[in-house]
Amino acid sequence: MQDNLLISHTDLKTIKGNFSANIESDQVDPYIREAQTGELRRFLGDELYLIILLDNPLSVQRLIDLMQGVDYTNRQGKQVRFNGLEECLKYWSYYRYLRDSDLLAMRYGNRIAEDSIYSTSAFREQVKRSIYNAKSLALKFQYDAERYLRTFPDVYPEWSNKRRTPKKRSFEFEKLPNGKERYY
C-alpha cells in the first residue's frame, strides 16, 4: 500500500495555537501517519478511506469537498460551513504529537515538560491544557464531518451510517487524596 500522507507538516503550522516553525517533517510525519491510519480510517471506514488514499482526492469534487470543506445546506435548511477532514486530521496529529512528546510547541521553539528544579507545575498544566484543547478540537471537527456525511448519504455511499465517532469525553477526572475531584 502506498504511504500517502493527506496533510504535511506545513499544514500543522496553520492550526490555532502555537506551533513552532522549527519543527521538521521527520518529527511530525509519524504522528500524521498514526492519526491518519488510526482516527481517520476508523471514522471513515476502510472503503472510503482507501478511495481517498489511493485516488487523488483532489480529482473528484465530492472528495475535494470532503477533504477541504464546503458550505452546504443542512437538513433544517440552514447554511453550514464544513471545514473538511484535513482540519480534523491536523488536530488529531497535533494531539498525538503533544501527547507523546510531552512538550509544548511554541512559536519560537519548544519547551520540554521535565521534572527538574526548573520545571513549574503551571507549565505542566499548560501542556495538559494544550493536549486537551487539541483533542477537543479534533473531536469537534470529527463531529462536523459526521454531520456532513449523514446529510449526504447518497453522495458518500461508502460511508455507512453506523456510529463511528467515539463517545465524547469532555473532561478526564482525577481523584485527589482529599476526596475532591480535579479535571483537566
154 found inside a domain: yes
pTM: 0.74
Residue 40 inside a domain? The answer is yes
Residue 153 forms part of a structural domain: yes
Which of 26-35, 43-52, 77-86, 103-112 comes out lowest in average pLDDT?
Answer: 103-112
How many domains are there within the chain?
A: 1
Return the pLDDT at 114: 54
Residue 81 is inside which H or E element, if any?
A: strand 79-82
Residue 3 included in any domain: no
pLDDT of residue 104: 58
Q: pLDDT per residue over 116-141, tens digit each? A: 555 555 566 777 788 888 889 899 99
Identify whether the C-beta of residue 85 lies closer than 8 Å to the C-beta of residue 145: yes
The three-state secondary structure class of 72 is strand
Q: Is 106 or 131 the better-scoring residue by pLDDT?
A: 131
Whether 1 is covered by a domain: the verdict is no
For residue 120, being part of any structural domain is answered with: yes
Between CA 169 and CA 143 the distance in angstroms is: 13
Tell me the residue range of the domain where 162 lies: 9-183
- Residues 49-86 have pLDDT tens digits of 888 888 766 678 889 999 999 999 988 999 999 999 99
Q: Is residue 95 part of a domain?
A: yes
**CA neighbours within 13 Å on the CB side: how many for 125?**
6
Has residue 133 been placed in a domain?
A: yes
The pLDDT-based confidence of 29 (bands split at 50, 70, 90) is confident
Burial of 96: CB neighbours in 10 Å, binned 0-12, 13-18, 19+: buried
Q: What are the respective helix, strand and coil percentages of the chain, to the nearest 5?
A: 50, 10, 40
